[in-house]
Amino acid sequence: MAAALRSAGALLRDRRKWRCHGRRRGPGLCDGGTAGARAESPLARGLWGAAVGCAGSCARRGEGRRGRGTGKGPSPGRGEGVVQSSSRARQPWRCQLNMATAAAATETAQPARSPQPQVQPGKRKPKTGILMLNMGGPETLGEVHDFLLRLFLDRDLMTLPIQNKLAPIIAKRRTPKIQEQYRRIGGGSPIKMWTSKQGEGMVKLLDELSPHTAPHKYYIGFRYVHPLTEEAIEEMERDGLERAIAFTQYPQYSCSTTGSSLNAIYRYYNEVGKKPTMKWSTIDRWPTHPLLIQCFADHILKELDRFPLEKRSEVVILFSAHSLPMSVVNRGDPYPQEVGATVQRVMDKLGYSNPYRLVWQSKVGPMRWLGPQTDETIKGLCERGRKNILLVPIAFTSDHIETLYELDIEYSQVLAKECGVENIRRAESLNGNPLFSKALADLVHSHIQSNELCSKQLTLSCPLCINPVCRQTKSFFTSQQL
């Protein structure tokens, strides 16, 4: 996602000769991240804000989360030394996808498919639905164009002059380059596969933990690829649920990720002109949940054990999260504080065994962003003789383009070789960890028992918020009757 934004930024620089007398609006927010930046003319400024104005999610900001090999020896991407992720490019997770999906990973765009209902085992009609919210990511190369098009058309993420005309141009220009990046990680994003596995484990545990609200059924709601959030809501309404829980898969809240997904729920009902037939509530953040912290700590310890014994205590742990433009932070977005809270709890669990820093990846354009940047930090550490580094994707709960390409290829292979890193590794994403499914189930169970509609934090708008839809969304959730 970040690569898409950088590529779009290049397009904007090529078009600075364009002129437009419209007024540029504030930068929007994006998947995993958010951004907006200025160019020379009003139109160029708007375009730059659009193209680069997405954030994290993709990761945490953007797309949302990596697979492990099953052969003997070190897992793919976990070899000693700098070239730790060369085999990750072959992505063993692709083998877990069905053959139809693998065959669809071609260079040319495929015709749009009608989304199929998510089939889950169970004999009884579901009573409680859990909508797992995320940005999503293209499963095949043929889905990349539509993914980018929806992203650049989203006015929650960015605001452009003549956006309906410019978004298709940007998406078309950037598709080949982004397809190449997805090809490097196996032909597509594994985020849907991991979300499904996590959801299956979650509802199985929930049926045992909370039999009075069972059967539970999970639904996947992505912003930019199928199954879209709106499609998931339609399926939930057809299923006749009594209760619906909008469950963000971003542990740390940002207006550009969780906020955007919650806005989509409000907009759906507002546009169809109907009230929900089910009672809605939301789990809108969970940055310090004990089992989440335990998962991160376990994965860090496991990866530290792979460093040479004599180097282990001097390994620098870099917690990497998708960055945000300071213009967004200064409006009051709580994301930086919540990411910091997660890092602090993880280091508490580890007993502060190693030096560490919180760093930010995927900066785009000339605007001021949260720093220090992950790549600049790696360079700086090497210059100061700290050449054993562990990268930890602290704002993502499963693998996607920002872990598999940006962290594993751009940083752990290319940059590390340039800087003379001795050992650089990346902690495994939470992916299929059974303890993480238990964390998800515990979050939902506790939420059901609390009878709360949302967190207290969600009721507080950013002090300098410029998006009126956010306030309407908050009213939608706080006015529900459980």
Catalytic residue among 375, 442, 445, 447: 442
**Which whole-number Å values give the CA distances from 13 to 48, 365, 421, in the listed order?**
8, 10, 33
- CA quadruple 294, 394, 348, 132: dihedral positive or negative? negative
Exposed e or buried b per residue across 351-372, where buried means at least 16 C-beta atoms within 10 angstroms of its C-beta: eeebebebbbbbbbbebebbeb
Clarify whether 442 is annotated catalytic. Answer: yes
| Length in residues, the chain | 482
Q: How far apart are CA 31 and CA 467, in angstroms?
A: 17
Q: Would you call 289 a catalytic residue per the annotation?
A: yes
Distance of alpha carbon 370 from alpha carbon 319, whole angstroms: 14
Question: Widest CA span of the chain, in angstroms?
Answer: 65
CB 254 within 8 A of CB 260: no
Distance CA 247, CA 221 (A): 10
- What angle, 0 to 180 degrees and rounded to 10, lies between the N-to-C axes of helices 258-272 and 229-238? 60
- Which residue is it, tokens 């180097």? 311
Task: Report d(CA 352, CA 355) in Å as an integer.
Answer: 7
Catalytic residue among 145, 226, 289, 322: 289
Q: Which structure tokens are listed for 53?
A: 């104005």
d(CA 304, CA 295): 14
Q: What CA dihedral angle connects 331, 29, 431 and 194, to 10 degrees?
A: 140
According to DSSP, residue 414 is labeled: I
Find the distance separating the first CA and the last CA of the chain, reported in whole Å. 38
Which residues are catalytically annotated? 289, 442
